[in-house]
Structure 1
Amino acid sequence: MGSVTIDVELPEAVLECYGSREAVRKVLSQSAVLELVRRGEMSSRRAAELVGMEWLDFVRLMGGQGINYFTEEAFQQDLAAVAEMRRSSDRGAG
């Protein structure tokens, strides 16, 4: 994967809070891809790949930042699918 270097001027206090340039770099990189996911411009799987994280760990990071993995519509579809599986299971058990 290719990468670019961008010079960003930050207050020294930011570096002091994070403790190292690498920690700041990691947070900025994650924040950039999280924003793309939040705006619907990048998939969570692609974003996880770009920041070198396992997908499930990235989904947890999304949740910690208030970014929902599931939309309300997807959640309702999943609930309907579970309800249908239960109905099918109940018919088969009887």
Structure 2
Amino acid sequence: MSLANKTTLATIKHDLEGYLGKKISLRANRGRKKTMERTGVLEQIYPSHFLVLVSEENYQRRLSFSYADILTETVELTVYSNDDKKIPFSVS
């Protein structure tokens, strides 16, 4: 992995840290024309991945994604502001 990619992944992680505990919406490409769209809360951030807590009808589950998923656009995130406005997450 090149140095540019390492710093980009660190930038994504740093940018996500500001949204801990916030409501987010995600769209994940699962391959073969399968996409998953969920809304949840950014729960935890780890060195190589992050967790989103998704509440569905009768249960909660945690979804794990890597920062590389955002970099390769496999996962698209949208962050909700305090007044429920959607703000697309982009790599700065």
* TM-score by shorter chain over 0.5: no
TM-score by length of 2: 0.29
Whose RCO is larger (CA < 8 A, sep 6+)?
2
Q: Please identify the structure whose Cα radius of gyration is greater.
A: 1
**TM-score under structure 1 length normalisation:** 0.29
Higher fraction of helix = 1
